[in-house]
């Protein structure tokens, strides 16, 4: 009999359970957590039981949301309860719930507040998991304009940000190897304090770090150490200015509130399957307004891969408009009485009415404008927006016409029309059950094919585009031949390209090998700094100190200086020196055990590395 999955647990409930443990029990917590999930069994009353020997039984009774959101919903039969190791271990083995809704990600109703948290993706399509929130049938536009002035944080927010910085610094100094349940609980308590102080994005950033630590310790298949390093950078860079009393770049932003947005017309661009590591699946349909504004209507719910595959043809219940996502991606909607947030997110409230509109071809305005501008300028703008946000947002959709060169390893090589750069086209989602990769392999068999591509640039890779849809280029002879009902585009996550969709090539011979596209990120010695930072995330402060001694220090710093990267070398040297600085008194006791200086040195090097890599990525698109 297979074990029952444990329900999500609210971060503050887990943090309180760990805080109640004695110092002796805290040392045993990580070992006790192992194996808890395999012993979970469903009781007759619907609760979940986890047995520890003959004398202890932990029972979880989730609330209506399906998550454990109150301390009384987790009980143990042992004599030490509720301050027992068994109860804390079971709560620590359960997945983390989203503190705003009591679930990993929950739907909001009309006019509801909303945070910027998103479900985590097994392999982010852009370097940050960027799928839409699973708010059933909500519409999301592109980035909103920044406020003219930043509001100074309140004293309560400064105290919360200071606690969050200190907890994050200690977690960074410990690293994955020592970042067990106790370290994670300190972060969760600080995250809960940030939420109570009105810093929902700070809380979300802390939860991303905790989930990353968990996945790394469990050696999760989808976890990349670089993602966890990026999560630490985002959390520390946002908490530092708030703790100093100035407004942070993003973590102090308030939740969304909804107001009346009047009438709106939107036209479908494409649809994209959404599959998260937390068991959610669905579809996101991208749309555009007459003025070029971008929108996304999503339908993401629990169900995983099967839900993601089936949602592409599921109905869209928005204001009475009877359309499915396949029809909406090639059609349009006129929305009356839309509820809209300051950043443009529209809700599907009771007062919303929508009627279908005729769809537009990509060659018609406003969709045609997506393919008209220089790709280099669009990517540079996206990189600048990510730097301003503090935690890089989802990159906006990018359209361009390309000529297929062929396959090179794991990606498809194509050149932007008009003498543009060589691009790597990688699957928007790597899951083998989704047709992204198969469609790109089929396209790679036709070198010289001219395509119109709509996708999302990968801002963490040089000249890399994640295509969501492709279509023929008007006026070109050697281009796609798609069915008329597809309205001139194929959604690579749902539609499967067949041989009849491609033109016949007269006298085509065997495919010649394609040289790999030059990668300035891989060629630059900055990878040594990246490895140092990731070493610190994995092994903590001690690992960084070891990397700065003897021959290892020479191998790290000399290539950077030879390449003219003196700033990166100086910051890396300062980081290793700070990591090795452990002043002690005459009795061998530490006189400064704080991780504050180490965290600041790590953050300085991480921010410099991110800026240098952004410059290289932007240059690769020119």
Express each pLDDT in 327-347 by its tens digit. Answer: 989 999 888 876 665 555 556
Comparing CA positions, the residue from 189, 202, 193 lying closest to residue 252 is 202
Dihedral of alpha carbons 42, 48, 52, 57, sign: negative
Comparing CA positions, the residue from 156, 195, 344 lying closest to residue 257 is 344
In DSSP terms, 401 is beta-bridged to: 452
Q: For the chain, which ranges sit under pLDDT 50?
A: 101-149, 391-393, 507, 509
Measured between alpha carbons, how far is residue 174 from residues 187, 233, 404, 582 in Å? 12, 15, 47, 14
Order of strands, sheet of 332-336, starting from the edge strand that comes earlier in the sequence: 259-260, 339-340, 346-347, 138-141, 294-302, 280-288, 264-275, 332-336, 353-357
CA distance 579 to 233: 17
CA distance 74 to 71: 6
Comparing CA positions, the residue from 445, 461, 503, 426 lying closest to residue 616 is 461
**Residue 344 confidence (pLDDT):** 52
CA distance 524 to 530: 11
Inter-residue contact 95 to 104 (CB < 8 Å): yes
Assigned token pair, 513 = 């090998």
pTM of the prediction? Answer: 0.81
* Residue pLDDT, tens place only, 281-317: 999 899 898 988 888 888 888 888 999 999 999 888 6
14: Cα within 13 Å, side-chain hemisphere: 34
* Residue pLDDT, tens place only, 492-519: 999 999 999 999 865 454 555 677 777 8
Burial 495-519 (b: 16+ CB within 10 A, else e): bebeeebbbeeeeeeeeeebeebee
CA distance 87 to 91: 6
Start-to-end CA distance of the chain, whole Å, equals 57
The beta strand positions in 166-210, using DSSP E, are: none
CA distance 590 to 588: 7
Q: Rounded to 5 degrees, what are φ and ψ at 568?
A: -65, -40
Measured between alpha carbons, how far is residue 610 from residues 129, 217, 487, 523 in Å? 17, 25, 40, 16
Q: Rounded to 5 degrees, what are φ and ψ at 272?
A: -140, 130
**Residue 396 confidence (pLDDT):** 82
């Amino acid at each position: 009999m297979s074990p029952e999955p444990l329900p999500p647990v609210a971060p503050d409930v887990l943090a309180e359970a760990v805080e109640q443990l004695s110092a002796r029990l805290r040392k045993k917590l990580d070992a006790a957590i192992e194996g808890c999930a395999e012993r979970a069994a469903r009781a007759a009353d619907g609760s979940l039981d986890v047995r520890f020997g003959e004398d202890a039984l932990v029972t979880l009774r989730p609330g209506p949301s399906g998550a454990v959101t109150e301390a009384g919903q987790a009980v143990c039969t042992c004599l030490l309860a509720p301050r027992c190791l068994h109860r804390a271990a079971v709560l620590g083995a359960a997945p983390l719930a989203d503190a705003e809704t009591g679930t990993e990600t929950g739907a909001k109703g009309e006019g509801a507040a909303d945070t910027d948290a998103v479900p985590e993706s097994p392999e982010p399509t852009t370097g940050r998991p960027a799928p839409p929130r699973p708010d059933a049938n909500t519409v999301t536009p592109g980035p909103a304009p920044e406020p003219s002035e930043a509001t100074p944080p309140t004293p309560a927010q400064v105290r919360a940000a200071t606690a969050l910085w200190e907890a994050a610094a200690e977690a960074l100094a410990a690293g994955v190897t020592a970042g067990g349940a106790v370290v994670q609980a300190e972060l969760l308590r600080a995250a809960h304090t940030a939420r109570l102080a009105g810093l929902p994005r700070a809380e979300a950033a802390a939860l991303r770090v905790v989930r990353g630590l968990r996945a790394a310790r469990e050696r999760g298949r989808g976890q990349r150490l670089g993602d966890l390093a990026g999560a630490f950078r985002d959390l520390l860079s946002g908490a530092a200015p708030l703790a100093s009393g100035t407004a942070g770049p993003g973590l102090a932003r308030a939740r969304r509130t909804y107001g009346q947005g009047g009438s709106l017309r939107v036209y479908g661009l494409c649809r994209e399957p959404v599959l998260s590591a937390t068991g959610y699946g669905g579809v996101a349909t991208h749309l555009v307004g007459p003025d070029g504004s971008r929108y996304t209507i999503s339908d993401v719910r629990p169900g995983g891969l099967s839900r993601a595959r089936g949602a592409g043809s599921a109905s869209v219940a928005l204001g009475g408009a009877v359309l499915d996502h396949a029809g909406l991606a090639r059609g349009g909607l006129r929305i009356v009485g839309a509820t809209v947030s300051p950043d443009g997110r529209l809700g599907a409230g009771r007062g919303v009415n929508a009627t279908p509109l005729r769809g537009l071809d990509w060659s018609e305005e406003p969709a045609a404008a997506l393919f008209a501008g220089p790709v280099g300028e669009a990517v540079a703008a996206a990189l600048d927006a990510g730097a301003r946000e503090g935690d890089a947002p989802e990159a906006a959709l990018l359209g361009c016409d390309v000529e297929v060169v062929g396959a090179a390893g794991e990606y498809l090589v194509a050149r932007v029309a008009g003498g543009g750069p060589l691009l790597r086209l990688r699957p928007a989602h790597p899951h083998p059950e989704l047709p992204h990769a198969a469609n790109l392999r089929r396209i790679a068999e036709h070198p010289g094919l001219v395509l119109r591509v709509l996708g999302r640039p990968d801002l963490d890779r040089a000249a890399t585009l994640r295509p969501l849809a492709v279509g023929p280029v008007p006026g070109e002879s050697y281009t796609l031949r798609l069915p008329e009902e597809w309205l001139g585009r194929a959604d690579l996550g749902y539609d499967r390209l067949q041989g009849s969709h491609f033109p016949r090539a007269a006298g085509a011979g065997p495919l010649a090998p394609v040289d790999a596209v030059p990668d300035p990120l891989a060629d630059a010695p900055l990878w040594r700094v990246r490895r140092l930072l990731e070493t610190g995330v994995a092994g903590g402060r001690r690992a960084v100190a070891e990397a700065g001694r003897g021959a290892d220090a020479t191998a790290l710093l000399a290539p950077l200086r030879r390449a003219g990267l003196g700033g990166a070398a100086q910051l890396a040297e300062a980081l290793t020196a700070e990591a090795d600085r452990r002043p002690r008194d005459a009795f061998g006791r530490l006189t400064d055990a704080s991780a504050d200086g180490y965290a600041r040195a790590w953050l300085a090097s991480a921010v410099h590395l991110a800026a240098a890599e952004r410059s290289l990525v932007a240059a690769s698109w020119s």
